[in-house]
Amino acid sequence: MKIYMKVLFTSKQSDRLHVDQIFKSNGVNQTPSDSLPRYASQMNSLDYQVDILYNPDVFARISQELRAIGILNVTCSYRFEYEEKDYHEAPFFLISGIGNNPDVYLEDQGAEFETEIVCDNCRLYRKKVVSPLVIDTSYLEEYDMVHVDHEHFVISERLLSRFKDWGIEGYETHPVLHKGSDEDRQPAYQLVPSQQLSPWSAKNPKLEFVGARKCPRCDRRGYLEYPVYYEDSLLQGQFGDFVSTQEEVVAGNRLIRLPLLSSQLRDRLIAEGITSDVRAPEQYGERDWKLDPIVVVSSVQKKTHFD
């Protein structure tokens, strides 16, 4: 498994030689985006999207050298590249998405909840739902699962029936209320993992979002804690097919726990045609589940399996 930093910026055509020299001096081969300019103002500019293996020191040095020639808008995003053995060895997979269709991402329309302020400075909070979720359940006629408020999974009755037939374990269900006409109502159930995995490994990355707002008090914002690393010795217990992380991550202005499912359930979902075996962004369709393997590190040798 490899983590890449994608260096993003725009430069003048006249700076191209200097930019090339900066990257080459830092051991990086690069080319600017070859997309055609859409406006006349873009004729004299180049858009760069340069992948470098994760190395904050190299990124900082490149950014500093680019600023020295007047390129100030340097930022970065992250890309994760998994290998075949990562998919083969991982006992659990993070549920990172359930389709690139906006219809499967809904907002709650009436549930009661309690909030707990975690940081008085940045107002980061934790949200607990204390009544049934309320959504337009008609979406469950077409889709097996929807994601509510970027935190809660709601499944159809037919998917729940298949889980029972397959002997899937490690979850609870709660009824979901319908908002809309009675004739469109569909049976819907909130799916809640009933177990948490062991704590993350100390090797778990904390990737900085360049330019993102940070909080000096809680130091929780502005970071991507992904992918998740686990010590192999702590994954030997009896876990169900659905679990969540013990740790909470920042999602917008609140803290949530990440959901995971077992490799056995992933294999079954693929075999039954509920999702494709998605391993790259270009493969991700409107009904596909994006399932990313956890990274297992050795508690004996203290090395990752990709070191």
Last residue of a domain, one of 157, 190, 223: 190
Q: Domain containing 53: what range?
A: 2-81
In this structure, the answer to whether residues 91 and 200 fall within a common structural domain is yes
CB contact burial 39-52 (16+ within 10 A = b; e otherwise): eeeeeeebebebeb
pLDDT in tens, 216-238: 999 999 999 999 999 998 898 78
What is d(CA 229, CA 226) in angstroms, rounded to the nearest whole number?
8
Last residue of a domain, one of 190, 206, 229: 190
Q: What is the percent of the chain where pLDDT is above 70? A: 93
In this structure, the answer to whether residues 201 and 292 fall within a common structural domain is yes
Residue 304 forms part of a structural domain: no
Q: Domain total for the chain?
A: 3
In this structure, the answer to whether residues 113 and 235 fall within a common structural domain is no
Tell me phi and psi for residue 306, to 5 degrees: -115, 5
Contact between 289 and 97 (Cβ < 8 Å): yes
Beta bridge partners of 49: 8
DSSP 61: H
Residue 306 forms part of a structural domain: no
In this structure, the answer to whether residues 117 and 246 fall within a common structural domain is no
Q: Point out the least confidently predicted range of 35-44, 169-178, 266-275.
A: 35-44
In this structure, the answer to whether residues 56 and 71 fall within a common structural domain is yes
In this structure, the answer to whether residues 38 and 68 fall within a common structural domain is yes
Concatenate the DSSP letters of all residues of 226-238 into one string: -S-EEEGGGG-S-
Whole-model pTM over 0.85: yes
pLDDT-derived band at 137, boundaries 50, 70, 90: very high
Q: pLDDT value at position 31? A: 62
In this structure, the answer to whether residues 236 and 95 fall within a common structural domain is yes
* Residue 34 pLDDT > 80: no
Reading phi first (left if > 0) and then psi (alpha if -120 to 50, else beta), residue 70 is in left
Residue 138 forms part of a structural domain: yes
In this structure, the answer to whether residues 134 and 209 fall within a common structural domain is no
What is d(CA 160, CA 95) in angstroms, rounded to the nearest whole number?
17
pLDDT in tens, 164-210: 999 999 999 999 999 999 999 999 999 999 999 999 999 999 999 98
Residue 29 forms part of a structural domain: yes
Residue 305 forms part of a structural domain: no
Last residue of a domain, one of 190, 221, 245: 190
pLDDT in tens, 229-264: 999 988 987 899 999 999 999 999 999 999 999 999
Residue 307 forms part of a structural domain: no
Closest by CA position to 197, among listed 262, 153, 145: 262
Burial of 156 (0-12, 13-18, 19+ CB in 10 A): buried
